[in-house]
Amino acid sequence: MPSAEESTISGWGGLAVPGREVFSEDLVRLSDGAVLSRGLGRAYGDSACPPADAPVVATTVLADRILSFDEETGDLRGEAGLSLRELNRLLLPRKWFTPVTPGTQYVTLGGMVAADIHGKNHHVEGCFGAHVTSLLLRVADGRLVECSPEVESELFWATVGGMGLTGHILEVAFRMRRISSPWIDAESFRVANIDVFMEKLEESAREWPMTMGWIDCRSTGANLGRGILYRGKWADPAEAPVGPPKAKRRIDMPFNLPNWFLNKGTVVAFNETMFRCHIPAKRSGIRHPESFFYPLDKVLHWNRMYGSRGFTQYQCVLPESAGRGSARRFLEHLTKELGGASSFLCVIKDCAEESQGLLSFPMPGISIAMDIAVDDRTQKLVDDLNELVIDMGGRVYLAKDSFTRPEHFRAMEPRLDRFMEVRAKWDPELKLRSAQSVRIFGDPA
């Protein structure tokens, strides 16, 4: 067995730190004395990576049982390692769906709570945490604590979006949503530039429960922020195909592609093709839920496309208060800063009300996310973008972050003190930590 010193562990972006995973079906045993829990490892940065002095994480994926499911109300309780993919496989054909889904189904219930994930329907349903009715935690002193919006609510709201730092999440209870059919009635159309994008997102939000946009972040000038807007709703049973959607076939990326594969040339070409090939300019029809919600899941290990250098995702939200032109300003800045850096995927989404989760990411405004191949300019790029975001009153998403400096995060997060207070109450010695909490919150390591 490789020792902890030799083995490494990384987030989805592939930036490795020393560490290893331990597994068990029994989370009560597994979490005993552990510094951090980890799910399917889809957080891009170091949120689910261990601190240097305790390089072991408790991975929950073997604890994947449904503990109860009420087919009248949709109330479901599951072990923290239960994946969204498994829930979709079992319950989507029966017309039950999670109230909120992120852009991948390779996430666990524990991870969905810890990151307080949001999705295409944020403007209607808010974050996942808003639908959680109860959590079973193992807190730092070893006790098992059941918390909910009513019981130990302070702990509950610190845990929702708290990146696993308030306690190990062992069980999650939430209410599944009844859907009219397991198919999506979708529309997508080309958008000429960022100003039109903002207008169309706002307009779409009024009538469509799910919206998001893909942006060509290599576009400039009059085309700046051109892209494709996607919107959808659960299909009417009369229009939907008979029978449930079949699971999509997946292809695997078996090894890292060479680092040169994604470069300015291929990225520009990819974005151009993606935009041009959306023919006709407006499409509508019934779509498979997997291809609507999880287009990237089609390729397992798509992160290997970035090669061994790894990548990060920069995701920020720009608040409404920064004005309508904020997204344009951000993109202008980005195109200038990006220089030769490779970012082939950029996603835009309007967010509604802030969650009650103390560190939950979304706030009313516009969220922009882009993948960036890591090189020696990345730290500066992130610093510059963060300064702009701070200036606008926005913030970044911890589940994606690898590079944000502590002083920048503090400037973005007036809620951080409150979070640290609650955390200190339940974990005065800061036993529960991650590589990220050491890096950003200044935890001991």
Partner 1 sequence: MKAAILGGTKGMGRSLARVLAERGDEVFLLGRDPEDLERSAQDLVPRSPQRYLVRHAACDLKRVESFGPALDAAAEALGKLDAVIVTAGLYHGQEELEEDTALALELLQVNFSNTIAFCEEARRRLLAGGGGTLAVFSSVAGDRGRKPVVIYGASKAGLSAYLEGLDHKYRADGLVTLCVKPGFVKTGMTAGLKPPPFAGDPDDVARIVARAIDAKKPLVYAPGIWRFVMLVIKNLPRFVMRKIGF
Binding site for partner 1 (CB under 8 A): 1-2, 21-26, 62, 65-69, 71, 90-91
Helices 326-338, 194-207: axis angle to 10 degrees equals 130
| Separation between Cα atoms, residue 412 and residue 399, nearest integer Å | 15
Can you say how many angstroms the Cα of residue 358 is from the centroid of all Cα atoms in its chain?
17
Closer CB to partner 1, 81 or 129, in the complex: 81
| Cβ–Cβ < 8 Å for 15, 46 | yes
Task: Give φ, ψ of 371 to 5 degrees.
Answer: -85, 140
Residue count of the chain: 445
Closer CB to partner 1, 78 or 225, in the complex: 78
DSSP letters, 259-271, are GGGS-HHHHHHHH
Nearer to partner 1, 78 or 289 (CB): 78
Least distance to partner 1, CB of residue 22, Å: 7
Tokens linked to 351: 């967010």
Q: From the CB of 67, what's the least distance to partner 1, in Å?
A: 5
Residue whose entry in the numeric block shows the structure tokens 């029978």: 243
CB of 8 to partner 1, least distance (A): 14
Q: Which two tokens stand for residue 268?
A: 């520009």
Alpha carbon separation from 278 to 148, 187, 190, 317 (Å, rounded):
45, 12, 7, 27
Nearer to partner 1, 170 or 338 (CB): 170
Q: What is the CA radius of gyration of the chain?
A: 21
Q: How far is the CB of 160 from partner 1 (least distance, A)?
A: 24
Q: Which is nearer to partner 1, 21 or 337 (CB)?
A: 21
Quick one: 22 or 269, whose CB is closer to partner 1?
Answer: 22
Q: Which of 69, 261 has the CB closer to partner 1?
A: 69
The nearest distance, CB 173 to partner 1, in angstroms, is 13
Minimum separation from the CB atom of position 216 to partner 1 (A): 38
Extended strands (E) in 6-74: 8-10, 16-18, 20-23, 37-38, 56-59, 66-69
Residue nearer to partner 1 on the CB measure, 8 or 263: 8
Neighbours of 241 (CB within 10 A): 12
CB of 170 to partner 1, least distance (A): 12
Q: Which is nearer to partner 1, 62 or 416 (CB)?
A: 62
Q: Which three-class secondary structure string do you get for 119-142?
A: CCCHHHHCCHHHHEEEEEEECCCC
How far apart, in Å, are the Cα atoms of 291 and each of 94, 247, 298, 299?
19, 10, 8, 11
- Of the pair 87, 186, the CB lying nearest partner 1 is at 87
Q: How far is the CB of 72 from partner 1 (least distance, A)?
A: 12
Rounded to an integer, what distance in angstroms lies between the CA atom of residue 416 and that of residue 363?
Answer: 15
Instruction: Give the pairing of strands 56-59 and 184-191.
Output: unpaired
CB of 301 to partner 1, least distance (A): 15
For residue 365, the cross-strand partners are 319, 351
- Give the shortest CB-424-to-partner 1 separation in angstroms: 33
For partner 1, which is the closer residue by CB, 22 or 424? 22
Contact 412, 395 (CB under 8 A): yes
Place of tokens 């292809």: 251
Of 176 and 215, the one with the shorter C-beta distance to partner 1 is 176
Do the bridges between strand 37-38 and strand 56-59 make them parallel or antiparallel, or are there none, so unpaired?
parallel
How far from 426 is each of 113, 129, 188, 366, 413, CA to CA, in Å?
Answer: 18, 20, 47, 34, 21
In sequence order, what are the beta bridge partners of 229?
189, 213
> Shortest distance, CB of residue 327 to partner 1, whole angstroms?
43
**Among positive and negative, which fits the CA dihedral 70, 75, 80, 86?**
positive
For the CB of residue 78, give the shortest distance to partner 1 in the complex, in Å: 9
